[in-house]
Structure 1
Amino acid sequence: MVTLTDRTQKRLTIETTEIALETTTIRSLDWDRDRFDIEFGLQNGTTYNSFVIRGEQTALVDTSHEKFRQLYLDTLKGVINPAEIDYLIISHTEPDHSGLVKDILQLAPQVTVVGSKVAIQFIEDFVHQPFERRIVKNGDHLDLGNGHELEFVIAPNLHWPDTMFTYDHKTQILFTCDAFGLHYCSDSTFDENLADIEADYRFYYECLMAPNARSVLSALKRMGELPEVTTIGTGHGPLLRHNVDELVNRYRQWSQAKAKAETSVVVFYISDYGYSDRLSQSLARGISKTGVGVEMIDLKSADPQEVQELVGRSAGLVIAMPPASGTVASAAQAAIGTVLAAAKDKQVIGLFESYGGDDEPVDPLLSKFRELGLAVGFPAIRIKTTPNEATYQLCEEAGTDLGQLLTRDRAIKQLKSLDAELEKALGRISGGLYIITAKKGEIKSAMLASWVSQASFEPLGLTIAVAKDRAIESLMQVGDRFVLNVLEEGNYQPLMKHFLKRFPPGADRFAGIKTQPAENGSPILVDALAYMECHVMSRMELSDHHVVYATVDTGRVSKPDALTAVHHRKVGNYY
């Protein structure tokens, strides 16, 4: 293994490792990155993985992020003479994997670029220069010689429309780019310690793959037609070798559960226009938190028949506004025309701007859907400045609002289905009254809680049950910090009433409330009886809640003689 470091940015390093016969990984380690495309909070940095396969001919699988340009190119030259690279395989074209394609083409103009049809189209728009290309379909082969026969698996929408896996029959390595990855930076090339990575693995799945659960299952089915896979060469994080079956099976289980959702929403976006893909990902995550299934379709490359079928079986539609002019506009507007033709009343619609500089206006399209009888799932999101953390949080909360609207009738039906005596008995379990407050970056959130209990002495720890569709849930991942504010008996009504309100997406939950910052940055409620600063250590997933276990770092009682407010319920099947 060889490691190089950028001396001007000491936390950017490069690692090269021989992972199999004639196969080298070049891993770009971004140790300090704490945000990924702004909306994706990271606890443990990330990596960008690239691979060199040397047979009689040589293939380079993916490149790296442009921030690693000099480090990566110097390292690549140490691994192989660029003039000897025959193929550049593009797993998918997001800049964190294809950011250096233009540089590779300058160093190695003889290279043939290999990718799906959509990927090659995107690369054409990106490099603006002639290049040799080879478009491959599912099941196509490329023989590099010396036994390195590559087979391609087309896996669209994981999480872009152009995604492709590459399987080397000699080494039994499957190169999957974003799929099965995680944002986790360490010196370990492989997944030796499952416990260290499983929380980040799940968080990555929920943010990027869960909105495309049906596409995940389709990709898994195609993977099942391959011979044995002994290693997964991921695009982010450690490569999977020690826990391949376990981690692939988790994708299968999680995706099967989401694909069985009774209600689904289709989110239409444009992968390479403005911030459409990132904003749509946040909206999709918010929807999926409510138990509603999500399917994401790129308007630029959408098949009309597929669009018609998806709209026909979906309860809700979310659309990113396309550009008003240009070739992308023509394709996107044709797809929207198909959506309008297939839409029907009793569906729910949500529209958002992409901030691409030439967005179609929202109101004319919204009026057309209203005329068709569609209900509005959330107020149209109009983005006038570059999206920031607050923008992505607004999108996630808007998605959650839409999902809750679609599941409202089902939730009411479930409430009525329990045995009345059981409801009353369960309701006799009482708890205190607390406000959970959290802040991460620019985002702040809060929720009223009563399912709180001390869970350990050493270290001092507690558990909190957090509903999956709560806005604060995304701020209570493993590694996050928050404040538990204890409400006072006889003096809790104003705070409880305030935080019980239904806040519109993006609203400031602390407007009009006296707060002061905790050491961990989260708001402390001045009128609370006591507070504790906490650090999330683990989460357990239940059907509709996460049970969060957190250690307590510090705390203070403001009124030593006062009592904690107690919450008594009449029934136990709803709050």
Structure 2
Amino acid sequence: MKRLVKNNVNWVGKVDWELRKFHGDEFSTNSGSTYNSYLIQEEKTVLIDTVWLPFAEEFVDNLASEIDLEDIDLIVVNHGEVDHSGALMKLMDRIPDTPIYCTTNAVKSLKGQYHRDWNLNVVKTGDSIDIGNGKSLVFVEMRMLHWPDSMATYMTGDNILFSNDAFGQHYACDSLFNDTADQCTLYNEAIKYYANILTPFSKLLKNKLDEIIGMNLDIDIIATSHGVIWRDDPMQIVRKYMEWCDDYSENQITVIYDTMWEGTKRVAEKIVEGIAMEDGEVTVKLFNIAKTDDNDLATEIFKSKAIAIGSPTVSNSILRSLVGFIHYLKELKFKGKKAAAFGCYGWSGESPKVLAEMLNDAGFEIVGENLRINWNMTTEAEAEAIEYGRQFVKNLGASNENS
């Protein structure tokens, strides 16, 4: 069922209410998602992107109930990833000669995934196609946001930016538009999407945003590939991206731990207590990584100016939950964030040192000394952990003064 976006532009995508994992098992989608495809019917009929492969047959059947598929003059593929291009094979079986417009790298990804000899036409930034009624499609390459083949498409006249993955969210929302969506969920899913998918490309994104702003495009609508369409003050999400791509942090400290017999948990709780005692204005959050969604936790770290991570010592090292998670943080390439390491141990006590080395390798600046607590906490050890939390806050201030 198509739904009106503006004038002769309709949404023809799919709302996936049940999706809970994406990119294999890498990304949690607790609010579901959408796969947004758009149909433009000016003098030329244009389809922008399709939907994920599991919904290919449904998508093509629905599209065929709205228009004669032979009337589609061209297809724009903004990004070749299967959640956007998955229905192409089913569609192209019906209209095999229809020209497809995409970037050079998208030719590689489409041929590599589908092994079909389609009518692929390469476009680059600034290229345009006249679609009639005084309107054109203008293409803007968005390389590495978040694949090398990505681009955005701008429609003149209606002033719509079909932004692909940029500015999106994994958010199943039947209301379709940002002004009719739940604002809290929308913001939370938008920042989670940025933190976990786009953070590694923040520098590239900043340059691309500057380039788009420099093109002086009038943008009335940002039509994303996932989640809601931005029609009410659409530039609000662009402004957020400008904040998020500039070594973003809030006045937040996040404390993370895993534990075997509750010892490291108690240390973490006392560190949190000390942080709160030292700074009554900072937001401090505590998470057991074994009981927390990794992507939600990465979002909290994205918002944080500093983190403290703790593990008991096991096999002269740390618990494997933290090994994998810190490796993930390294992939995200967070900038300008500080860290500390702590742990409870019985025998050898290497975990804080291992944690500190891994955090440093992941790009975090280690401040202060590591905290090691032997066996179960005594009253003196509790006081030591509280003081460690207080000192951590002081170290952050000292580090900021020296930087």
Counterpart residue identity of residue 225, structure 2: G
Aligned to 1:208: 197
Q: Residue 138 and residue 240 in structure 1: after superposition, are their counterparts in 2 closer, same or farther (change >3 A)?
A: same
Cα pair 1:153 1:166 within 8 Å, conserved: yes
- CA–CA distance in structure 1, aligned partners of residues 256 and 130 of structure 2: 61
Q: Which has the higher strand share?
A: 1
Give 1:198's match in structure 2, choosing from 187, 190, 195: 187
**Identity across aligned pairs (percent)?**
26
Cα pair 1:436 1:447 within 8 Å, conserved: no
Tell me, which stretches of 5 or more residues in structure 1 are unaligned? Answer: 3-15, 259-288, 290-433, 439-444, 454-462, 481-494, 510-542, 545-561
- The structural deviation recorded for 1:505 is 5.3
3-state SS of 2:210 partner: helix
- CA–CA distance in structure 2, aligned partners of residues 151 and 83 of structure 1: 24
Tell me, which stretches of 5 or more residues in structure 2 are unaligned? Answer: 250-254, 274-282, 300-309, 325-363, 366-378, 397-403
Tell me whether 1:238 sits opposite 2:228 in the alignment.
yes
Cα pair 2:271 2:387 within 8 Å, conserved: no
- The structural deviation recorded for 1:466 is 5.0
Cα pair 2:272 2:386 within 8 Å, conserved: no
Tell me whether 1:57 sits opposite 2:47 in the alignment.
no
Counterpart residue identity of residue 230, structure 1: D
Aligned to 1:94: 81
- The structural deviation recorded for 1:235 is 0.5
Q: Residue 216 and residue 108 in structure 1: after superposition, are their counterparts in 2 closer, same or farther (change >3 A)?
A: same
3-state SS of 1:477 partner: helix
Tell me whether 1:26 sits opposite 2:12 in the alignment.
yes
Aligned to 1:219: 208
Cα pair 1:25 1:51 within 8 Å, conserved: yes
- The structural deviation recorded for 1:128 is 2.5
Cα pair 2:178 2:230 within 8 Å, conserved: yes
3-state SS of 2:37 partner: strand
Aligned to 1:140: 127
Counterpart residue identity of residue 73, structure 2: D
Aligned to 2:373: none
Kindly provide the CA deviation profile for residues 36-86 of structure 1, in whole angstroms up to 9, marking residues without a partner as x.
121111220111100011111111000000111222111111222110111
Task: For 1:92-491, list aligned pairs within 5 A.
Answer: 92-192=79-179, 193-224=182-213, 225-257=215-247, 448-449=267-268, 450-452=270-272, 464-465=284-285, 475=294, 477=296
- The structural deviation recorded for 1:104 is 1.6
3-state SS of 1:237 partner: coil
- The structural deviation recorded for 1:211 is 0.3
Cα pair 1:28 1:64 within 8 Å, conserved: yes
Cα pair 2:192 2:295 within 8 Å, conserved: no
Q: Residue 568 and residue 238 in structure 1: after superposition, are their counterparts in 2 closer, same or farther (change >3 A)?
A: closer
Counterpart residue identity of residue 209, structure 1: L
- The structural deviation recorded for 1:222 is 2.6
Q: Residue 435 and residue 72 in structure 1: after superposition, are their counterparts in 2 closer, same or farther (change >3 A)?
A: closer
- CA–CA distance in structure 2, aligned partners of residues 127 and 465 of structure 1: 45
Aligned to 1:36: 22
Q: Residue 498 and residue 123 in structure 1: after superposition, are their counterparts in 2 closer, same or farther (change >3 A)?
A: closer
TM-score, normalising length from structure 1? Answer: 0.48
Q: Residue 498 and residue 247 in structure 1: after superposition, are their counterparts in 2 closer, same or farther (change >3 A)?
A: same
Counterpart residue identity of residue 477, structure 1: D
- The structural deviation recorded for 1:253 is 1.4
Cα pair 2:74 2:100 within 8 Å, conserved: yes
Q: Residue 221 and residue 435 in structure 1: after superposition, are their counterparts in 2 closer, same or farther (change >3 A)?
A: closer
Cα pair 1:31 1:44 within 8 Å, conserved: yes
Cα pair 2:57 2:87 within 8 Å, conserved: no
Cα pair 2:27 2:295 within 8 Å, conserved: no
- CA–CA distance in structure 1, aligned partners of residues 168 and 55 of structure 2: 19
Backbone CA RMSD of aligned residues: 3.8
- CA–CA distance in structure 1, aligned partners of residues 46 and 106 of structure 2: 17
- State the 4+ residue runs in structure 1 displaced beyond 4 angstroms: 434-438, 445-448, 470-474, 495-499, 504-509
Cα pair 1:191 1:243 within 8 Å, conserved: no
Kindly provide the CA deviation profile for residues 384-416 of structure 1, in whole angstroms up to 9, marking residues without a partner as x.
xxxxxxxxxxxxxxxxxxxxxxxxxxxxxxxxx
Higher relative contact order (CA 8 A, sep 6+): 2
